[in-house]
Structure 1
Amino acid sequence: MINRSRQMWLIATFICLFTVTGNAQSTDSPKASPQTESLKRATQAMGKLDKDGNGTFEKQENVRAFNRRQKLDTNKDDVLTIKELQRERKNYLATNGEQKLDVVYKRVGRRELQLDLYYPTSNAAGPYPVIIYTHGGGWAAGSKQGAANGSFAAVFSKLLDHGFAVASVDYRLYRKDGPIAMRDCVIDSKDAVRYLAKNANSLNLNPSQCFTMGDSAGGQIAQMLLLTSPESLAGDVVLSGTEYQMVAGVSWYGPCDFEKTDLFNHDDRADFRDRFGPRILLPDSDPADKIALYREMSPINYLAKNSPPLLMIQGDKDTTIPVKHAYYMKQKADTLAAPVEIKIVKNAGHNWRKVDADIEPTREEIVDLTVQFFVNHLTSTVQ
């Protein structure tokens, strides 16, 4: 006999599939109600989280994912139902332009990877230049919803006003029990760019004007998107061979090199711990491959004289991703005559946290500096 939770999940799945099928039949279908959308999201989430297929999500099935939704467990029984998952709210960038939300750009097994695409608020006809945003979170946390938070929302809102489209990307996240590594995060993000370029005509985007921005782990991914060739780090075979052109990119406090371990020391003390090594190497990785894998994930190794322009903004008191990364990238760029600019933020820790005194420049000035960098390179590209 089917228990009540399983029965509710099956009914919700049927409703969700019926809604999706019905909407797919006509582009003139009315927009789904908030209740239907929340049910759809909850059903999709349950399909991913409910490993034993009993219609509920128990904490022991994925402790980390459950803890992120702890507040939804109102009766504190360490079990989430469809009804409880429906209360989860996604945060999207508030704009006056067109939006395409939760667009599936790739499937990996049962997992659907999504992006949010925001269109300019101007009356320009397109095709539009597009900025791909890769979120931070140590390659192990965060989501595309980060684009709607704090300073990121300020950056992207201004860029939308300047005629850019913005695509905020989800990618698979590292887990200690595997099998996702940093390499997969980068490949997924590259596949998001490939998807946007492959579908550029229908999405009204210009694949020759791709820009990228990321923070922390997302800063490393953004650097990789910017500096690696479109065909490198192949992922989904459906998207392979897609051409696009990167124009410029911005990295907020992102690392550039994993092989040179002393870059992760905040000062001159020899207290380095290989914090991110396990996120590059899987448990079954051959130790002989360690250096090659570290080098593959280090953006600095792809820097060349003809690389697209990169702006790195780093805090001078950041202990998570020390400012040494910016100085080291700039040093190599100057040797190669590569177009890299750095901006050092005084009194700033990770995420522009104030350390000892007010940060200089201010958050507002960092936002304006970031926006202006993109605008300057868009102008030069158009000309």
Structure 2
Amino acid sequence: MRRILGRTFASVSLLLAIAGIGLWGFFARHEAPILQGQVEFGVPYHGDQTLDVYLPTIRVDGPRPVLLFLHGGGWVTGSKETVNINRFNRAIGRLRDAGFAVVSPNYTLARNGRSPFPDCIHDVFAAVEWIRVHASRYRFDLDNLGILGESAGGQLGLLAAYAAPARFALDHPRVEVRYVIGVYPPTDLARLYRAENVVRVRQMVAELPGSLHERLDLARALFGFDPNEQPTRAQDILSRYSPREYASADAPPTLLIHGTVDSIVPFGQSERLHQELTRVGADNQLRSLPGVGHAFSGATPEQRAAVQTWVVDWALNHGSPDAAATR
């Protein structure tokens, strides 16, 4: 059901939707976007998938820059509401204070042995198409559309920014993405699948009893089949959904943020994409966080603050020139 939520009602509704109790203090301490301004919550956009629209917290007379936020969760968990409990709340708040609208969609996850691919990337393209179709109603500035994604959401965001919908058998018109920000994103799935820590986990899971093995077999969940039995098909999927395969000189300005000791998505995933983008002459920057792991584990307050600044500056500096000039 679609609703426009004011500050108090929005806060209560989201608390009930996510956890019921206990998050109010957490939200307040972490400056959750739901506590500020208005939110249109639970908007259908593609099949059963819904999205939330966080409107600017200031009056914007002209078109509104728009940021598409894609949550993480390893393609198996996560939801659109986590925009309120992630590591970018201050950045999102600052962008809304600068006149940005933020769109946070759910997307298809692995369920009951069914791979999330290609449905998850279809959902992301559908979210971009929803922004295009509803630009007039929400006064979205289609010349100032950016994407911010973390972890699995970063992989999907990079794909949507780099590849045309037709590459994934979609007939949506292509909407130009002005910039993309990938935070500890998987960019080369084949290399990630062969990473030492991932191999170790797969070996441990393989030794578990049958029923437990089936529930924890992430590889089977992501592929939808046993990749050991169909290696050629598995390799095709790994290549098709790797953003690095689509890196070109036409790629939109790309900011990559990654901890150097990330044991879930190794730092090399961003480093190699940065090298490829640089090789082909695409505007990009890699911001490394020394000694920081996945989801910014081990990050200092100074490093966390720096991330907010990097995200905000990239969005403000790489939107449309006309939009930047009016702020």
Which residue is 1:16 aligned to? none
- The equivalent of 1:104 in structure 2 is 44
| Deviation for aligned residue 1:296 | 0.8
Other-structure match for 1:316: 260
Contact residue 213 and residue 219 of structure 1 kept, 8 A: yes
Q: Which runs of 5+ in 1 are unaligned?
A: 1-19, 43-67, 73-86
- Match of 2:43, SS state, is strand
Using the TM superposition, give the Cα deviation of residue 370 of structure 1 relative to its aligned residue in structure 2, in angstroms: 1.1
Question: Which structure would you say has the larger RCO, counting Cα contacts within 8 Å and 6 or more residues apart?
Answer: 2
- 1:1-383 pair list within 5 angstroms: 93-94=33-34, 96-107=36-47, 112-175=48-111, 177-234=112-169, 240-261=171-192, 264-265=195-196, 277-283=219-225, 287-354=231-298, 359=300, 362-378=303-319, 380=321, 382=323
Alpha carbons 1:197, 1:243 under 8 Å: kept: no
Q: What's the offset of the Cα at 1:369?
A: 1.1
Work out the percentage of aligned pairs sharing the same amino acid. Answer: 24
Note closer, same or farther for the CA distance 1:130–1:276 as it changes in structure 2 (3 Å cut). Answer: farther
List runs of 5+ in structure 2 lacking aligned partners.
Answer: 204-216
Shift of residue 195 of structure 1? 1.1
TM-score, with length taken from structure 1:
0.69
1:293-318 CA deviation, whole Å, 9 max, x = no partner?
Answer: 11111001111001101111110111
CA positional deviation for 1:263 = 7.2
Count the aligned residue pairs: 299
Structure 1 pair 192/270, CA: closer, same or farther in 2 (3 Å)? closer
C-alpha contact 1:264 1:272 (8 A) present in aligned 2: no
Partners in 2 of 1:305 and 1:252 — Cα distance? 21
Residues 225-263 of structure 1 show CA distances to partners (whole Å, capped at 9, x for unaligned) of 21111443246xxxx434421000111111100123487
- TM superposition score normalised by structure 2: 0.79
Amino acid aligned to 1:340 = N
Q: Which residue of 1 aligns with 2:211?
A: none
Could you tell me how far apart the structure 2 residues matched to 1:114 and 1:153 are?
21
**How large is the RMSD of aligned CA atoms in angstroms?**
3.4
CA contact (8 A) 1:179 1:282 kept: yes
- Aligned residues of 2:125 and 2:160 also touching (Cα < 8 A): yes
The 8 Å contact of residues 128 and 165 in structure 1, kept in 2 or not, is answered as yes
Q: Decide whether aligned partners of structure 1 residues 105 and 316 sit closer, same or farther in structure 2, where only a CA change above 3 A counts.
A: same
Cα distance in structure 2, aligned partners of 1:234 and 1:118: 30
* Deviation sequence 1:323-366 (CA, Å, 0-9, x none): 01121112211221122210110110111111xxx549510111
- 1:232 alignment partner, SS class: helix
C-alpha distance in structure 1 between counterparts of 2:85 and 2:218, whole Å: 25
Of 206-215 and 279-288, deviating more is 279-288
Equivalent pair of 1:230/1:244 in contact (CA under 8 Å): no
Instruction: Report the alpha carbon displacement of residue 276 of structure 1 after superposing the two structures with TM.
Output: 6.1
Do the aligned residues in 1 keep the contact of 2:115 with 2:222 (CA within 8 Å)?
no
Q: CA deviation at 1:105?
A: 0.6
Equivalents in 2 of 1:253, 1:116: separation in Å? 23
